[in-house]
Structure 1
Amino acid sequence: MFDALQVATTVIVGVMVGVEFSVAFVINRIFDALPEDSGQLGRAHGGRMLGAVMPVWYIGSLVLIVVWAVAGRHHEGAGLTVGAGALLLLSVVMSLLLLVPINNRSKTWTPENRPVDWKEQTKRWERWHYVRVAVLVAAFALLVAALT
């Protein structure tokens, strides 16, 4: 049962990290290359779609890591699992304090109602997202290391 928990947690967290990595390094670059207002509209749609899914994914992943850490407290790699959980918790706090407020605004923007500084706000979100992705990759690396 513990092995199944480890595999499920690693897969769920890994896919989440992959989605966030893809947003940072693929999807946003595609949006930037679209003509006229298409990129901004795509970002708004992505913000609405992922904004609905990611909270459940992040919290669910964090819960799974906590269960793994508690159930595996006497196994080798327990410290790595706790470290992964701490990093994932940091990413949740970063999201709530730094990224979600910008996302909540930008997901409602259209070419007609977006603020004058929308590009600056988008770039600020992207900078914080790069940091969050780095934290998530580190958390995932610790999870994988805990498996060995």
Structure 2
Amino acid sequence: MIRISTNIALAEDEIEERFVQASGPGGQNVNKVASAVELRFALAASQSLPPDVKQRVTGLAGRRLNKDGVLVIRAERFRSQEQNREDAEKRLVMLIRQALTAPKKRRPTRPTRASKERRLKAKKARGSLKKERRGEW
């Protein structure tokens, strides 16, 4: 069980981990050790997350979500497989926690009377400046 919040937890069977070779520098180590982790979470098929949270995760995931509804997180920052596994899991939890908070609904506001008056006063001043420039020939 991966605890996300007090009432949401992901089952271990919903997450699939695959170990692959990391890219980048590292000499012989990077060529022979599969230390990078590819964490796959079937978001579309998940029973652990409420539908509204799923929708927000879909928006936040971006390119990490494939067309089958599977969220893929690749972690290769560390040389150790265990550290990369923890890093990938932590990033998944952070993404879902970010989606738990619903965005605030925007309340439309109107300009104040004073701001309207300032705007009109500035327009008048600009207009009178242009009028003075015109001059009669």
TM-score normalised by length of structure 1 = 0.29
Larger-Rg structure: 2
**Larger helix proportion, structure 1 or 2?**
1
**Larger strand proportion, structure 1 or 2?**
2
Question: Which has the bigger relative contact order, CA under 8 A and spacing at least 6?
Answer: 1
